Amino acid sequence: MPTLREVGELEAIARLGRAYARAGAGARGGEPDGEGVVLGIGDDAALLRPAPGRDLAATTDAFVEGRHYVPWAFTPRETGARLAHANLSDLAAMAAVPRWALLSLGLRADHDIDLLVELGHGLAQALAADGARVVGGNVAAVTGAEWLSLTLLGETPRGRAWTRAGAHPGDLLAVTGFPGRAAAGLLLASRLGAAAQGAEWRTLLDAWRLPRSRVRLALTLAETGAITAAIDISDGLAGNLARLCEASGVGAELEEAMWPRDPELERAGETLGIDPDRLRLGPSDDYELLLAVNPERREACEEAARRTDTPLAFVGCLNQASNVVVRVGKDASRRPLAVEGYDHFTAAGS
Amino acid sequence: MPTLREVGELEAIARLGRAYARAGAGARGGEPDGEGVVLGIGDDAALLRPAPGRDLAATTDAFVEGRHYVPWAFTPRETGARLAHANLSDLAAMAAVPRWALLSLGLRADHDIDLLVELGHGLAQALAADGARVVGGNVAAVTGAEWLSLTLLGETPRGRAWTRAGAHPGDLLAVTGFPGRAAAGLLLASRLGAAAQGAEWRTLLDAWRLPRSRVRLALTLAETGAITAAIDISDGLAGNLARLCEASGVGAELEEAMWPRDPELERAGETLGIDPDRLRLGPSDDYELLLAVNPERREACEEAARRTDTPLAFVGCLNQASNVVVRVGKDASRRPLAVEGYDHFTAAGS
């Protein structure tokens, strides 16, 4: 298990490159270099060939050791995959096809090269499952906390990307997956330690540790023309709903009666002494999508969710009350939705 | 001078976005959003519209506080500009037109927001001078050393990018600027402290602190069709020459007699007790280009250098001795060129 100091920068980059290629070759129909890659790792820049008539969607997201990932919780492979998912989720929210990624790493010289290769392979595998390849990167040496910064590029048919700004009053609100589960998983792991690893909490721990890509759903939904606006909710559903409303100039009603039951989350809420709704609506590393849906095309959405095996729940609707987000209780009570977003700098912790 | 903790993440991102827009608006003929930017900062991803028939060149480079930048040496504006130049130089080496950038930041909560805005503005100004815009990014909180990771995208006419692999035996070797000056500037600043700030060392300090873009030269040279291969030499001329030779399957002769005199560098060598050739050929943060030139088009190259006001020196030629790099002394002595490249992980320091 040699360290980066022992193998050196060039050898580390070469081994990472082979790990990326292996992950790419394992993908459905994948060639190692990947379609649209004129020149991958090994020159001053990668050379890529976008398909004609497409727009590019470009996003970047970073993980910091000790904050976004911790050795006790994640294997290197899982950390790599989670970083891929954090970025894939942004492209899903634009209905973009993931294509090319650049990985910038801040690593300590005592980092084990084999563990680094596992991380790179996990990341590249998660990308490859949605058709994307690592085509470049950078390594820098650090002495303190390590960090991983990924930039992901995707393509959409020209002018057809989803944004946060297209929703209309009357549109329905839908959400994928089971928001809050990742936050519950994190809290269970931190508070219960080894006791959280049992079968009892498996669903919630997995929601945190092993996110699922919503790219396939997004691309299937894009074909229906049903989606008027979309946003990724990894900063918290309430906060991201407020941002979508602001961008679209609409208001929203979240209806508790429409929200699907999640007994696992409720059980976690009891154990943790936290209202499950706080987990659902607050900051949580669920890489899920919040969607504004043309009500006339609701059925096409439900069909797309079935075809891609994705949980999709309609949880409210949009209205003309610009920027006002109301929570409608099961008893028809109405109160403003508290926004508890995650702020990296003012937050007490992660 | 509020800190990030005081203003919060969203406000910090908003102020950075305004700084980028200001820099873009100040550029020649620039509109704030920039050509080809369908959607900038503020959604899940940026949306970009590549020009038809172009390839994309994509690169990423990162700076780590205390290693690539230090408060005693650089203002925030200079640090931002240098990071831009580190990436611009990679695109210059591909003869790509810089277009779009994403900036991923690892920042401490006590970072002064005004200084951060200066850094962002300096970076965006340096990019804007070559026609590129910051279109997205990410901020993450760190507790130790800060870091800045930039991804830069550019465009080249399809299939026309320079690579390291196209050089032929018989091609001439040319280099821009005055390699070694940045290394000299760094060493002078570290060893002499305040005494390095005088007019005496100004040229060398500036070479280190205020790199110049070679993008305009590269694009002008690209029109001549004279360049067969290119590489950025920021890891050291000898090391990067070896890489170009390896990629092209050629050998090289560097001729000392052809190398232009650099009295400033020689004076620094004396003061520092270092052979100036070691500075020239070893690791140095000179963002300069090493070019393989079709000898029949040498004059067109010289004309391009004059038109863009860029120092360009012909310093050797390529041959069939695959991967063998020879240094030819003024006395016609021949010896192998020692490669002293920079390795982030095995290096004793920066």
Q: Give tens-digit pLDDT for A179-230.
A: 999 999 999 999 998 888 889 999 999 999 999 999 999 999 999 999 999 9
State whether residue A238 sits within 8 Å of chain B by CB: no
For the stretch A6-43, pLDDT in tens is 999 989 999 999 999 999 876 654 454 568 999 999 99
Smallest CA–CA distance, residue A242 to chain B, in Å, is: 13
Annotated binding residue at A44?
Answer: yes
Q: Is A234 on the interface with B (CB under 8 A)?
A: no
Instruction: Provide mean pLDDT across the span A244-260.
Output: 94
Instruction: Write the pLDDT tens digit of every residue in B96-130.
Output: 999 999 999 999 999 999 999 999 999 999 999 99
Nearest by CB to residue B90, choosing from A45, A156, A231, is A45
pLDDT value for A24: 82
Contact between B158 and A49 using a beta-carbon 8 Å cutoff: yes
Mean pLDDT of A58-80: 93
Q: Which residues of chain B are within 8 Å of residue A97 when distances are taken between CB atoms?
A: none
**Residue among A10, A13, A41, A56 with most chain B CBs within 10 A, to mutate:** A56
* Binding-face residues of A in 53-72 toward B, CB within 8 A: 54-64, 66-68
Whether residue A59 and residue B100 make contact (CB cut-off 8 A), yes or no, is no
Predicted local confidence at residue B27, as pLDDT: 60
Q: How many residue pairs from chains A and B have C-beta atoms closer than 8 A?
A: 249
Q: How confident is the model at residue B32 (pLDDT cuts 50, 70, 90)?
A: very low
* Cα–Cα distance list, B337 to B232, B240, B241, B324 (Å): 18, 12, 10, 9
Inform me whether the pLDDT recorded for A119 exceeds 70.
yes
Q: For A212-323, where are the alpha helices, taking DSSP H only?
A: 215-224, 237-248, 263-272, 276-281, 298-307
* A35, A43, A342: best to mutate for the B interface, most B CBs within 10 A: A43
The answer to whether the beta carbons of residues B286 and B225 sit under 8 Å apart is: no
pLDDT at residue number B255: 94
Distance CA A52, CA B55 (A): 11
Contacts of B66 in chain A (CB under 8 A): 143
Give A263: exposed, middle or buried? Use CB within 10 Å, 0-12, 13-18, 19+: exposed
pLDDT at B341 over 80: no
Which residues of chain A have a CB within 8 Å of the CB of B230? 44
Q: How far is B93 from chain A (nearest CA, A)?
A: 7
Tell whether A339 is within 8 A of chain B (Cβ). no
The shortest CB-CB distance from A345 to any of B5, B38, B59 is to: B5
Q: Can you tell me whether residue B52 is helix, strand or coil?
A: coil
- Bridge partners of B100, per DSSP, are B133, B153
Q: How many CA atoms lie within 13 A of B6 on its CB side?
A: 8
Average pLDDT over chain B reads 93
CA–CA separation, B303 vs B310, rounded Å? 10
Give residue limits of the domains in chain A: 4-157, 172-336
Q: Is B314 on the interface with A (CB under 8 A)?
A: no
Q: Calculate mean pLDDT across residues B194-199.
A: 88
Check for a shared fold between B4-157 and B172-336. Answer: no
DSSP track, A69-138: B-TTT--HHHHHHHHHHHHHHHHHTTTPEEEEEEEEEEE-TT-BHHHHHHHHHHHHHHHHHTT-EEEEEE
For residue A260 the two structure tokens come to 């699907």
Nearest to A137, CA basis, from A101, A107, A103, A113: A103
Mutation to test the A interface, candidates B5, B63, B149, most A Cβ within 10 Å: B149
Average the pLDDT over B246-256 and give the result.
95
Look at A207-221, B21-35, B130-144 and tell me which has the smallest mean pLDDT.
Answer: B21-35
Contact between residue A337 and residue A327 where contact means Cβ atoms under 8 Å apart: yes
- The CA distance from B73 to the nearest CA of chain A, in Å, is 19
Q: What is the pLDDT of residue B30?
A: 47
- Decide the pairing of beta strands A312-319 and A172-176: antiparallel
Inspect the interface and report whether the beta carbons of A5 and B151 lie closer than 8 Å: no
Restricting to B residues 97-136, those with a Cβ less than 8 Å away from any Cβ of A are 100, 102-104, 106-107, 109, 135-136
Question: β-pairing, A251-255 with A312-319?
Answer: antiparallel
Q: Is the dihedral of CA B305, B310, B311, B316 positive or negative?
A: negative
Q: What pLDDT shows up at residue A195?
A: 87
**What's the mean pLDDT in B132-146?**
96
Distance between CA atoms of residues A157 and A50, nearest Å: 11
Q: Tell me the three state secondary structure of residue B310.
A: coil
- Percent of chain A's residues with pLDDT above 70: 96
A:195-214 residues touching chain B, CB 8 A cutoff: none
Whether residue A231 lies within 8 A of chain B, CB to CB, comes out as yes
| A240 assigned to a ligand binding site | no
Across the interface, do B10 and A142 touch by the CB < 8 Å criterion? no
User: A344 to chain B: which residues are within 8 Å by CB?
Assistant: 9, 109, 139-141
Helix (H) or strand (E) holding B209, with range, is: helix B202-209
For residue B97, the distance in angstroms to the closest alpha carbon of chain A comes to: 12
Tokens, residue B123: 């970076």
Task: Mark which residues 244-283 of A lie under 8 Å from B by CB.
Answer: 247
Residues 135-154 of B with CB under 8 A from A: 135-145, 147, 149, 151, 153-154
Distance CA B11, CA B114 (A): 12
Task: Sort out which chain A residues have CB atoms less than 8 A from B107's CB and list them.
Answer: 345
Query: Which of the four pLDDT bands, split at 50, 70 and 90, describes residue B39?
Result: very high
CATH topology of domain B172-336: Phosphoribosyl-aminoimidazole Synthetase; Chain A, domain 2 (3.90.650)
Per cent of chain A over pLDDT 90 is 84
Quickly state the pLDDT bin for A348 (edges 50, 70, 90).
very low
pTM score of the predicted model: 0.95
| Backbone dihedral angles phi then psi of residue A6, each to the nearest 5 degrees | -75, -40
Average pLDDT across chain A, whole number:
93
Q: Is the pLDDT of residue A2 over 70?
A: yes
pLDDT for the residue numbered A350: 36
The reply to whether residue A60 touches residue B100, judged by beta carbons under 8 angstroms, is no
Which residues from A are below 8 Å from B68, CB to CB?
A: 140
Q: Is B51 on the interface with A (CB under 8 A)?
A: no
- What is the chain A residue with the closest CA to B157? A49
Identity of the amino acid at A283: P
**Interface contact B141-A344, CB threshold 8 A:** yes
B44 labelled binding-site residue? yes
For the domain spanning A4-157, the CATH number is: 3.30.1330.10
What distances in angstroms separate CA A196 from CA A200, A264, A268, one per listed residue?
A: 8, 13, 10
